[in-house]
Chain A
Amino acid sequence: MDVIDGGFFTTVQDGGRIGYRNAGVPVGGVMDAWAYRLANALVGNEGDEAVLEATMSGPTLRFHVETVIAVCGGDFPCTLNGEPMAMWKPVIIRPGDVLKVGVCQAGWRAYIAVSGGIGVPSVMGSRSTYVPAQLGGLSGRPLQPGDVLPIGTAREHNIRKPFRWGLSSDAGRYIDGKTKTVRAVPGPEYSEFTPESRRQFFAARYHVTPQSDRIGYRLSGPALVLGREREMVSEAVVFGTVQVPTSGQPIVLMADSQTTGGYPRIAQVAAADLPVLAQARPGDRIQFQPIAPEEAVQLYIEQQRRLGRWIAAIRRQWGEKDEND
């Protein structure tokens, strides 16, 4: 497919680059795994295929082949050849079709999945773009006008009639609202913060600042201070780690997080709530809610089961489609 317009910041992403933390390589991959998994399922993919991740305003793409696409995530008005196109549903694409993913009305990121996946070469086991090291994706950078993206080989399907089904609005409910409640487990250095800071962190609402990207969300709100300053020794950090640099303003590390960090970690965002955070935009407020580590694991397992049920339902629709066609 041809890139007519790249949008604000659109990159190729997949499930991430696993196994290279030893080499200091961030895991990367999609910010909102929920929307990503559903988008892939909707187009009949296995699950880990590369997609396009759009931020704030989406790309305009011209397709050269017959395929199936789906757009999931924040509310990005989409058009296909100028006609409105629904999100969260599979759509048949004919050669020459032009998809325009507009400016986001709610949420912040959208996932454009194509049957067979985006076929850029895999680098260190992943197609994800890591811009700071110009790694993976399309030359390690966001899409630009004039780019040509290869599409991977899709499994055989025989599609003649338009899809008459899609996901209910429940699938994207987590995206709504300017104030996001995000559950978090107290981090390894939580107890070293003053009692007042510990209280503030979970009581106050922190604003997402414009200095927020795939590496981290810089938040602004009541300053958080340690009871006693001490020299920190760098240790592991992951997607969702909330670090507090000397400014006292917390930073939530996101998908492109470094592998190690040297700031005290006040909290760890529950993995189940990372999609909520990934859809927060500058100006939104974050309300952290404390939970126990076991609860975070339970939430994650339940979310995976819920996702599994959605995907199973999608696969059943595909199965029936194949039989009927």
Chain B
Amino acid sequence: MEYTLFPLCEYAVTVRFASYIDEAVNDIVHETAARLQGERKEGIKEIVPAFSSLTVYYDPVVAGNYADVCAWLRENIGSTGQATRHSTRTIVIPVCYGGEFGPDLADVARFHGMTEDEVVALHSSGRYRVYMIGFSPGFAYLGGLSPRLATPRRSVPRTTVPAGSVGIAGGQTGVYPLATPGGWQLIGRTPLRLFDPHREKPSLLSAGDIVEFRRITAEEFARWREEHDDGRH
């Protein structure tokens, strides 16, 4: 697949494969990122995938100048047209839908003329691709929400949304890793920590993962918290 290279700043170059969001393009992004990780040239500090591009951060003193880094990229990106995805992780995220954990579930159901159970069944039967991590620590941009669940944001954003909240905004669904203000329609909450700075891998999700949501009860949510919370909250 063709790509363009351009300098983002004195110490970063972006490799752009397309200017639109597409699963096949995103596959190539992740495959290329993995290949470059494996090649690891001295002075290359970070390789960060996005929707349809990836950005390579380097130390100009060690890795050489922009032209040197571009030459290394051209050598290693290769010319294969098809991405071969080796090991895609599937992460199952337990979600307690509705009630106090999903205060907007009733509104979302009403908006679509469905029952709450129908919304939950549709949301928890999807397979969602992690296109990229960005926006805030541990936040995954997920693709794959059923168009039948696309719902506008709340007209007045909440001043605080609890960590773990699962929401819908337009055609997107996602999980808030941290307690932040937000305008998403909240349909449930997961007891999992999407971001924990004290874990070896702070972000639960990585770009390229597949996410599935599994419905749990409020009792299961509470039990999960008891079993997995090491007294930090």
| A275 on interface, CB distance cutoff 8 Å | no
Contacting residue for A22 out of B6, B8, B48, CB 8 A = B48
Find the residue from A24, A231, A240, A304 having the highest chain B CB count within 10 A: A24
Instruction: Decide if A260 touches B132 in the complex (CB within 8 Å).
Output: yes
Is the Cβ of A297 less than 8 Å from the Cβ of B8?
no
| Tally of A interface residues using CB under 8 Å | 39
Q: Does A132 contact B (CB under 8 A)?
A: yes
Partner of B48, one of A21, A26, A123, A294: A21
Which range holds the interface residue count of chain B?
A: 35 or more
Tell me how far the C-beta of A123 lies from the nearest C-beta in chain B, rounded to whole angstroms: 5
Known: A22-B46, A24-B136. A297 touches B66 (CB 8 A): yes
Inside 8 A of B139's CB, which chain A residues have their CB? 24
Residue numbers of B with Cβ under 8 A of A are: 6-12, 14, 16, 19-21, 45-46, 48-53, 55, 57, 60-61, 65-66, 132-139, 141, 177-178, 180, 195, 197-198, 201-203, 206-207
Contacts of A19 in B (CB 8 A): 45-46
Residues of chain A within 8 A (CB-CB) of B203 are: 22-25
How distant is B37 from chain A, measured CB to nearest CB, in Å? 10
Q: B9 touching A268 by the CB < 8 A rule? A: yes
Cα-based distance from A22 to B138 in the complex (angstroms): 9
Known interface pairs A268-B9, A293-B7. Does A24 touch B53 (Cβ–Cβ under 8 Å)?
no
Q: How many whole Å from A62's CB to the nearest CB in chain B? A: 30
Q: Within the complex, which residue of A136, A233, A235 is in contact with B20, where a contact is CB–CB below 8 Å? A: A233
Q: Are B197 and A235 in contact, with the CB atoms below 8 A?
A: no
Closest 5 CB pairs of A and B: A260-B134, A23-B203, A236-B55, A24-B133, A21-B48
- 17 A-B contacts, Cβ less than 8 Å apart? A18-B46, A22-B48, A23-B137, A23-B195, A24-B137, A25-B137, A25-B202, A123-B198, A133-B197, A135-B137, A188-B14, A233-B21, A236-B12, A236-B14, A238-B12, A259-B133, A297-B60
Question: When the two chains form their complex, are residues B8 and A268 in contact, meaning their CB atoms are under 8 A apart?
Answer: yes
Taken together as a complex, chains A and B put the C-alpha atoms of A136 and B202 apart, in Å, by: 13
Judge whether B10 and A260 touch: CB under 8 Å: no
**Does B202 lie within 8 Å of A23, measured CB to CB?**
yes
Tell whether, in the assembled complex, residue A296 and residue B10 are in contact, meaning their CB atoms are under 8 Å apart: yes
